[in-house]
Amino acid sequence: MPIAKVLAFLKDIKGYLGAGVFTPQGEMLEGTADISGIHFEEAGSLIHDTLKDAKDMSKQVGFGNLDMIQLYTQMGIILAVCHMDDKLHFHTILVIKTDGNVAMAKMKLKKAVEALKSVL
């Protein structure tokens, strides 16, 4: 199953704006966004950097491994997940509207990450 098919699974979340999969270096492997005026590849790369910094901070202060961040903006809510094991390391980003279904977004995002493990 291609990456695009896994990401399409997220499109039925209430408030969906976009999703993408990124390398550990911040390069987009696949992604789409219905966000007018936003360059998702560039935004995703910057969100990726934020996720990396949050992971480093979490370890530094003794909170352990961080696997998801949730950012609230005027435009929407950004969920970013890091998957890292012995074989794979990738980041998946989902953006929904501020009135979107956050709980469903988190559940579906985690399922998408599991599916991506077999695709990448």
DSSP 55: H
pTM, two decimal places: 0.91
Distance CA 90, CA 60 (A): 21
Q: Are 119 and 49 in contact (CB under 8 A)?
A: no
Can you give the residue range of the structural domain that contains 49?
Answer: 3-119
- Confidence (pLDDT) at 92: 95
Mean pLDDT of the chain: 92
The answer, yes or no, to whether residue 102 has pLDDT greater than 90, is: yes
Which CATH number fits the domain that encloses residue 32? 3.30.450.30
How many structural domains does the chain have? 1
pLDDT tens track for 23-79: 988 899 999 877 777 788 888 888 888 998 999 999 999 999 998 999 999 989 999
* Mean of pLDDT values over 86-98: 94
Residue 79, strand partner residues: 70, 94
Q: Are 79 and 70 in contact (CB under 8 A)?
A: yes
Closest CA to 10 of 118, 75, 93, 82: 93
Q: In what order do the strands lie in the sheet with 28-33?
A: 28-33, 16-22, 89-97, 76-84, 68-72
